[in-house]
Amino acid sequence: MATEGGEGGTAIVGTIVGFLIVMLLLLFATQVIVRLYAESALTSAATRAAESVATSLQPSQDVAAAEAAARSQLGSFGSRHVSFDWKEVDGQQIVLEVRAQSPEFLPGIPGWSRIQRTVTVRTERFR
């Protein structure tokens, strides 16, 4: 049964457009959640690594072990997408800068996939 105004099929077009908008919003929400989780996990691993080195008796010698433990904590994300840069390891403080590439569901958003955290921990010694 055809309509007189030539509006046949408009319901399907509106439904498809609405469906695509909902899917894009869900994809964006997924991207935000994954990025927030990656930031949280990266910050936690970096903080634990820096605290581990800060409480060590030989901080400069325990950097590799702390970095390996942090990569292990991050799993496959830590082994492929994360770089650790130990800026300062001395008797006063530990400064660790961590950079990573967040997993992407929506490519093409400039600056969205880069995560950078700097963790500073003071060393403490018993007297």
- What is the model's pLDDT at position 41? 93
Distance CA 119, CA 46 (A): 7
- Residue type for 88, please? E
Tell how far CA 97 is from the center of its chain: 14
- What is the model's pLDDT at position 48? 94
- What is the model's pLDDT at position 11? 83
CA distances from 111 to 15, 20, 84 (A): 33, 25, 19
Residue length, the chain?
Answer: 127
Phi, psi of 84 (to 5 degrees): -110, 130
* pLDDT digits 0-9 by tens, 68-93: 999 999 988 888 889 999 998 887 88
- What is the model's pLDDT at position 16? 93
The pTM assigned to this predicted structure is 0.79
CA gyration radius for the chain? Answer: 24
Q: What is the mean pLDDT of each run of 10 residues along the chain (127 residues)?
A: 62 90 91 91 94 85 91 87 88 90 77 87 76
Give the strands of the sheet with 82-89, arranged side by side.
82-89, 93-101, 114-122
Residue 46 contacts residue 70 (beta carbons within 8 Å) = yes
Query: Rounded to 5 degrees, what angle do the CA atoms 119, 123, 126 make?
Result: 155
- What is the model's pLDDT at position 124? 74
